[in-house]
Amino acid sequence: MADAVYMMPNPATPNQCVVIDPKKCKGCNLCIEACRTDVLLPNLEKGKPPVVVYPDECWFCGDCVQNCPIPGAITMEFPLNQRVGWKRKATGEYFRIGMKNPPPPVTRPPLGK
């Protein structure tokens, strides 16, 4: 067993492009076939979720999520700088859904006015 080799995700990478729910995933590997950049590889154990091997190569196209037959088995985890932000019309306050302490509203006028 000393010569056994196992496929593992790269632990040094900070990016997490997709989250796979092992309770919902049936291991059909349709997400692997749909992935344009080969971020996912099939698990060596049949019926287990795929392994995210190259998360930094993800284009965040969502093909893997769209082609999954089980809703919620795989979800896209967008980088913070690509997440949608919201702005209140009344106050001009920027915030993100689920933010514990949203920033105070911007009260200064825009430049050039």
Alpha carbon of residue 87 to chain centroid: 24
Instruction: Provide the 8-state DSSP code for 36.
Output: S
**Domain span at residue 41?**
18-77
Structural domain contains residue 42:
yes
Determine how many CB atoms are found less than 10 A away from the CB of residue 27. 14
Determine how many CB atoms are found less than 10 A away from the CB of residue 24. 13
Structural domain contains residue 68:
yes
Same-domain check for residues 69 and 28: yes
Structure confidence at residue 107 as a pLDDT band (50, 70, 90):
confident
Give the pLDDT confidence of 37-77 residue by residue, as tens digits: 999 999 989 989 999 988 888 998 999 999 999 999 999 98
In angstroms, the CA 18 to CA 77 distance is 5
Task: Compare 95 and 53 and report the one with higher pLDDT.
Answer: 53
Q: Report yes or no: 92 and 106 within 8 Å, Cβ to Cβ.
A: yes
CATH number at residue 57: 3.30.70.20
Give the pLDDT confidence of 1-19 residue by residue, as tens digits: 567 766 665 555 567 889 9
User: How many domains in the chain?
Assistant: 2
For residue 7, what pLDDT is reported? 64
